[in-house]
Amino acid sequence: MMHGRVVAAHGRQYIVETGDGTRLPCFPRGKKSEVACGDEVEFARSSADQGVIEKILPRRSLLYRSNEIRQKLIAANVDQLVVVVASEPAFSDDLVTRALIAAESEDIEVLIALNKCDLTDRLAEARRQTAVFTALGYRVLELSALHHADDLRPHLQGRTSVLVGQSGMGKSTLVNALIPEARAATREISQALDSGKHTTTHATLYHLDADSHLIDSPGLQEFGLGHLGRGEIEYAFREFRPYLGQCRFRDCRHDREPDCALRPAVESGTVDKSRFASYRRLVGLEPAP
């Protein structure tokens, strides 16, 4: 049995890298796969150029999204989530909030990277959007992938980070600027997985140095949180925490219940109204926009 780390995930096909840098295409046993990019696994060779994943080793974190039908694994064993947004095109506050909740639920650090700051037409509006998250203690880094991508590098040092973001935020430009060999590595992986026409649809782990790694994930248009209960979602809103357990009713939904501790904080502006509205949509108290 051999030990390695999954450095690319595409459907049920994976590239596993061993400690000496050897890479081997591998498949999981059975029809259902629970393997994610970043997983530490035990595998065995099934032929000279292919292997079978026999076991997923215990994870320290798992970032994933889900809806009523299925779940989509994003990355395992990550220390930091880097949410890439941009001044242009406009980004979704709701999607950012959902990504932050997923990270909070797994105790993963968060960094919001505001990209394309050289495009100034919508920069003021983008800053207004990110200010809501800055006020909550989330780090926001302004940069331009085309000109100042290296501004991100110190924030990646000594961590395994995963990049997520909507399509069009410049995530691929950022990866290619930080890791010039990324395109070549992606081509090699696509050839190994025989999926050349899907080069942007799989998660890939790149090594920045011996202690720093970056996982690039496909662009997101939605981030379902169907795997989280109401209590977990409440707690993931870090500004709600001082009020949780203070309501008259233990199962208070913070809707119309008397003596709710959270609603007065929203009405006074202590808790941001847009964040509270996001919470209400997530737990089904309001319809999605």
Q: What's the rounded Cα separation, in Å, for the pair 146 and 207?
A: 21
Q: How far, rounded to the nearest angstrom, does the alpha carbon of residue 52 sit from its chain's CA centroid?
A: 27
Model confidence band, residue 289 (pLDDT cutoffs 50, 70, 90): low
pLDDT given at position 17 = 96
Task: Find residue 5's DSSP bridge partners.
Answer: 17, 40
pLDDT in tens, 241-252: 999 999 999 999
Would you call 263 helix, strand, or coil by DSSP? helix
pLDDT in tens, 268-277: 999 999 999 9
Average pLDDT over residues 112-116: 96
Among 226, 225, 235, 230, which Cα is nearest to 102's? 225
pLDDT in tens, 57-99: 999 999 988 876 778 899 999 999 999 999 998 999 999 999 9
pLDDT given at position 196 = 39
pLDDT value at 185 more than 80: no
pLDDT value at 197 more than 80: no
Q: How far is CA 151 from CA 12, 61, 114, 115, 156, in A?
A: 35, 26, 11, 11, 10
